Amino acid sequence: MLRGWLVLLAVLAGIGFSFAADPSSPLINDNRWQEARKSLADGKAAEARATFEELLKQYPQDADLHLFLGISLLRLREPHAAEAAVKKP
């Protein structure tokens, strides 16, 4: 089971970091987006999670935010919350 979650995390991280942020997305101009992704990459998943949740209040339909929140939650060992975050519309 753990191996499956680790594979999922690796796949999501690869997809997320390679295709992060649609160029037309308003997130590009938000410094919090860059900071949160850097925090996640630096292993500060709790800090990144808080920022992604804050950004979701402002940009609730942004798919990249849901994806990165899910990755943060996986790193915090909350697989059910991660799954719910990724599935939100």
- For residue range 58-89, list pLDDT tens digits in order: 999 888 899 999 999 999 999 999 888 888 76
Predicted local distance difference test score (pLDDT) of residue 15: 56
CATH architecture of 2-87: Alpha Horseshoe (1.25)
Q: Which two tokens stand for residue 57?
A: 């209040």
> What's the pLDDT tens digit per position in 15-32?
555 445 556 677 788 899
Q: Which of 11-15, 34-38, 51-55, 58-62 has the lowest mean pLDDT?
A: 11-15
Element (H, E) at 42: none
User: For residue 47, how many C-alpha atoms fall within 13 Å in the half-sphere facing its CB?
Assistant: 13
